[in-house]
Structure 1
Amino acid sequence: MPPSQDALEQPAEAHAEARANAPQTSAREVRRRVASASLVTAFEMFDFTVFGYFAAMIGAKFFPAGDPMTSLLLAVGSFGVGAFMRPLGALVLGACADRVGRRAALTRTVWLAGLGTAVIAVCPGYAAIGVAAPVAVVLARALQGFALGGDIGVAAAYLMEAGPAARRGARVSWQVASQGAAALLGATFGLVLTHLLSPQALDAWGWRVPFWFGLLVLPVGVYLRSRLHDGDDTARASAAPPFVELRREHARTLGLAMLMIMGQSIPVYAIVYFMPSYVIRVMHLPASTGFAVSASSALLLFALPPFVGRLLDRLPRRKPVALAGAAATTLLSTPVFVLIDSARSLPAMLIGVGLISVSMAFSAGTVALLVLEALPARVRASGLALAHALSVALFGGTAQFIVTALVKWSGNPLAAAWYVTPACCVSLCAVALFKERRAPR
């Protein structure tokens, strides 16, 4: 008697759980997988977000305008284009990961991210080729956004499944730390370049240096990710695309996940990545001040998540940690802008942004793990990738533009808090409503 269709179509999550707990996966092999997946995510995130650090210079180079604030608006608007492409990348590459395998999707993100970065690194300015320059930059941003949209969720799902269930928090936390490492690297480049180069040299060619460095994503990324182990145990049995199942069975989880991630997306884009441009254009302070603040914040976002991940593995529940982090971010967002505007000094900025960075470090990895455990393996990569990408596209990618527009319209530097604080409050409510589903160890 031939086997039944149900027997042939075993749930993908059962295979993923079996692989995660397989004794033949040594601790050394798990560490190699974590390092390979996280390091390349850091490169891709660096390539995507370094644009925001140098938005003021890029705006003058590719989007010239009589008013510096208008030029900055156009530049951060093109930053948003990359964010809006992330949901499409999440749909396409997330489906590839859930149906074909994690490694196949992760390798493709490397090629796409590298191509987009290469265009920005070598593209002549508006003065040389006219309107073709901003068009090329916008298309490059679209490629980078498409790649990163797939990478974030797929890499997190891969790390969750890469070893024993009892260490999930520690592994997933490195994917979050890799994003902090990218921000730290971008801010460090800005800090070093502003000290080594004159303002004229920085505007002329110095801003391209980080993008030239970012091209390392191609050789390093292809080498590391082509060696990742990925069996066929994550392939989908169902013929329906992952998005169909997500919309039909997990719409509430996806919606709340978007709002929870919003609580990190808006603060990190409006405070951490935007701080150099905010300091230059709004506060009229040296660029080095903004880069120093961003670097200190990014250092915390890189260093703290691994400790948070270990804590999550020891606690019986993850949700209280997410609630505490979201509440702290909500309460601190307005005081941070007040402190920065009133003191107008580097120590005050370091203290204010440092406090909110600590709160985000506690909530970011916890929220990612909550979402991953709430979804079955057959749609896990697509689900987190889509929730993260939609949240960044709708809220994070537009944060710099909205904050800049509010400041320009009102003439009040504190107008940035008018957007950040209410958004964090909504995110806190979403965390409270989210149902924790702790997967068995």
Structure 2
Amino acid sequence: MSRSDPPHTAATRRRRAIGAAVACNVLEFFDFVAYAFFAAQIGRAFFPTREEGASLLLSVAVFGVGFVARPVGSVVIGRFADRSGRRPALYLTAVLMTCATLGLALTPAYAAIGVAAPIVFTALRLLQGFALGGDIGPSTAFLLEIAPPGRRASYVALQFVSQGLAGMLAAAIGLALFQVLDAAAMDAWGWRVPFACGLLLVPVALYLRIGMPETLAPSSSAAPVPVPVRWRAGHVILGIGAIAGGTVATYVASYMATYGTTVLHLSAVSGLHAALAVGFATIAGGIGGGWLADRFGRWPAMFWPRLAMALAVVPVFMVLASRRDPATLLAVAAALAFLTALNGGGVLTAICELFPSRQRAAGLAFVYSAGVSLFGGATQFLVTWLIGATGDPLAPAWCVVAASLVSIAAILRMPETRPAPTA
């Protein structure tokens, strides 16, 4: 957008750019998180064992494998975005995610090609993780840089709106499938349908991304972008710690569909209803959290929702374990998602503002991806293992408490980064 554009023209272009960013993020997160809703079916297709629990455990382990490549993607594509611009980097991530998702939809199951099936499937999850790790930095930097004064956090919080929409879309497709297919059909091919649905929208996503404006200002210096090891170590450590609580809570919330069926012995439809609630609550929390961070500052928006999560999560899981009904499952999942998104807008914005523009995409992407990989990638595996090993249905809650305490310790050390209001 040119500075000489009339106000109404600039506003129209900004709305179109934001719509394109959100729509494409929805598709990329949909492709990544759809796996979580069909972990049981994928486990039986690619990791068949004599014990159902072991098959599920292997499936969620491969879900975690997708996180291993995220820090690598964050550095490689983030540095590309800081050198060449946000738009080409975002277009690249969309292409990579499309290739990975196409592969997941078409890879034959273990029964057809044997041990090659889980190997190929795992490699494709690594490619998904590489693409999503590379996307978060440029897309968040784009939202922050295109925002008008005083609205930075509200724009950055649209990341959570897009994640919520992706979760709702995946859950809605899952609900439709469970209504029309029996268990045998779901295991045989039904789990592939969400990935195929995502592919149908790929042309729209690529068109939107190639038409996005460039928000990275031209550099007046020929000096190369500093490498990640030259980032301030304190910023990186604090950012990773601040992300920990939200990351674990996010993947516990996305695990609630599986938790409802395997631990509470509710129907798969009940679990997917909870996933719909998670998506809606993420959207509401993201919008509210962005407004709070712009209105009162980044620090209050980061600290108070995370403290509320640490205090409330065990009691609400105790109620869920005692009642074991769909309504309580829905309420608990929604509460987790709402508080996480409420906290997240301030966290992402603050981390973005710690880095200058020529290090912003790579800096945020590395901090976010490292935090998600360290704390989020193992969450569903750890929760599944803990429940199986201890029989304690509160295991997810204790994981959220531990991660929330890490985040609180980091947030207490983080500076307030909101720019001072201009007169």
Q: One fold, TM greater than 0.5?
A: yes
Seen in structure 2, the aligned counterparts of structure 1 residues 231 and 297 have a Cα distance that, compared at 3 Å, is closer
Equivalent in the alignment of 2:10: 26
Residue of structure 2 aligned with 1:41, choices 25, 30, 34: 25
Quick check: 1:432 aligned with 2:416? Answer: no
Question: Contact 1:44–1:217 at 8 Å: present in 2 too?
Answer: no
TM-score, structure 1 as length reference: 0.91
Distance (whole Å) between structure 2 residues aligned to residue 219 and residue 286 of structure 1: 35
Equivalent in the alignment of 1:401: 381
Quick check: 1:222 aligned with 2:206? Answer: yes
Equivalent in the alignment of 2:269: 288
Equivalent in the alignment of 2:250: 268
> What letter is aligned with 2:416?
E
Equivalent in the alignment of 1:121: 105
Question: Contact 2:73–2:131 at 8 Å: present in 1 too?
Answer: yes
Quick check: 1:354 aligned with 2:346? Answer: no
Moved more, 57-66 or 408-417: 408-417
Equivalent in the alignment of 1:421: 401
Is the partner of 2:412 in helix, strand or coil? helix
In the TM superposition, residue 419 of structure 1 has moved relative to its aligned partner by: 2.0
In the TM superposition, residue 237 of structure 1 has moved relative to its aligned partner by: 3.8
> What letter is aligned with 1:327?
L
Distance (whole Å) between structure 2 residues aligned to residue 424 and residue 20 of structure 1: 42
Distance (whole Å) between structure 2 residues aligned to residue 218 and residue 228 of structure 1: 16
Distance (whole Å) between structure 1 residues aligned to residue 3 and residue 56 of structure 2: 47
Equivalent in the alignment of 1:170: 154
In the TM superposition, residue 22 of structure 1 has moved relative to its aligned partner by: 8.2
In the TM superposition, residue 190 of structure 1 has moved relative to its aligned partner by: 1.8
Structure 2 unaligned blocks of 5 or more: none
In the TM superposition, residue 124 of structure 1 has moved relative to its aligned partner by: 1.1
In the TM superposition, residue 116 of structure 1 has moved relative to its aligned partner by: 0.5
Question: Contact 1:19–1:163 at 8 Å: present in 2 too?
Answer: no
In the TM superposition, residue 53 of structure 1 has moved relative to its aligned partner by: 0.9
Seen in structure 2, the aligned counterparts of structure 1 residues 21 and 269 have a Cα distance that, compared at 3 Å, is farther
1:237-285 Cα deviation digits (max 9, x unpaired): 46444434xx334211111111111111101112x21112222222222
Seen in structure 2, the aligned counterparts of structure 1 residues 231 and 213 have a Cα distance that, compared at 3 Å, is same
Equivalent in the alignment of 1:134: 118
In the TM superposition, residue 305 of structure 1 has moved relative to its aligned partner by: 1.6
> What letter is aligned with 2:169?
L
In the TM superposition, residue 112 of structure 1 has moved relative to its aligned partner by: 0.4
1:368-410 Cα deviation digits (max 9, x unpaired): 1111112111111111111111111111111000111111111
Equivalent in the alignment of 1:369: 349
Seen in structure 2, the aligned counterparts of structure 1 residues 20 and 43 have a Cα distance that, compared at 3 Å, is farther
Quick check: 1:390 aligned with 2:390? Answer: no
1:56-79 Cα deviation digits (max 9, x unpaired): 100000110111111111111111
TM-score, structure 2 as length reference: 0.94
Distance (whole Å) between structure 2 residues aligned to residue 265 and residue 393 of structure 1: 9
Is the partner of 2:185 in helix, strand or coil? helix
Distance (whole Å) between structure 1 residues aligned to residue 92 and residue 281 of structure 2: 30
In the TM superposition, residue 218 of structure 1 has moved relative to its aligned partner by: 2.7
Distance (whole Å) between structure 1 residues aligned to residue 220 and residue 363 of structure 2: 14
In the TM superposition, residue 313 of structure 1 has moved relative to its aligned partner by: 2.6
Question: Contact 1:87–1:386 at 8 Å: present in 2 too?
Answer: yes
Distance (whole Å) between structure 2 residues aligned to residue 259 and residue 152 of structure 1: 17
Aligned length: 420
Distance (whole Å) between structure 1 residues aligned to residue 304 and residue 96 of structure 2: 37
Quick check: 1:303 aligned with 2:273? Answer: no
Distance (whole Å) between structure 2 residues aligned to residue 150 and residue 20 of structure 1: 29
Residue of structure 1 aligned with 2:134, choices 150, 163, 166: 150
Q: Over the residues paired in the alignment, what is the CA RMSD in angstroms?
A: 2.0
Is the partner of 1:285 in helix, strand or coil? coil
Is the partner of 2:397 in helix, strand or coil? helix
Seen in structure 2, the aligned counterparts of structure 1 residues 210 and 235 have a Cα distance that, compared at 3 Å, is farther
Q: Following TM superposition, where does structure 1 have runs of at least 4 consecutive aligned residues deviating by more than 6 angstroms? A: 18-25
Question: Contact 2:250–2:336 at 8 Å: present in 1 too?
Answer: no
Residue of structure 2 aligned with 1:59, choices 37, 43, 57: 43
Seen in structure 2, the aligned counterparts of structure 1 residues 163 and 355 have a Cα distance that, compared at 3 Å, is closer
Is the partner of 1:413 in helix, strand or coil? coil
> What letter is aligned with 1:179?
Q
Seen in structure 2, the aligned counterparts of structure 1 residues 67 and 20 have a Cα distance that, compared at 3 Å, is farther
Distance (whole Å) between structure 2 residues aligned to residue 123 and residue 387 of structure 1: 32
Residue of structure 2 aligned with 1:412, choices 370, 385, 392: 392
Seen in structure 2, the aligned counterparts of structure 1 residues 129 and 33 have a Cα distance that, compared at 3 Å, is same
Structure 1 unaligned blocks of 5 or more: 1-17
Mapping of residues 162-201 of structure 1, within 5 Å: 162-201=146-185
Quick check: 1:256 aligned with 2:258? Answer: no
Seen in structure 2, the aligned counterparts of structure 1 residues 115 and 335 have a Cα distance that, compared at 3 Å, is same
Quick check: 1:89 aligned with 2:73? Answer: yes
Identity percentage of aligned residues:
40
Question: Contact 2:285–2:337 at 8 Å: present in 1 too?
Answer: no
> What letter is aligned with 1:305?
G
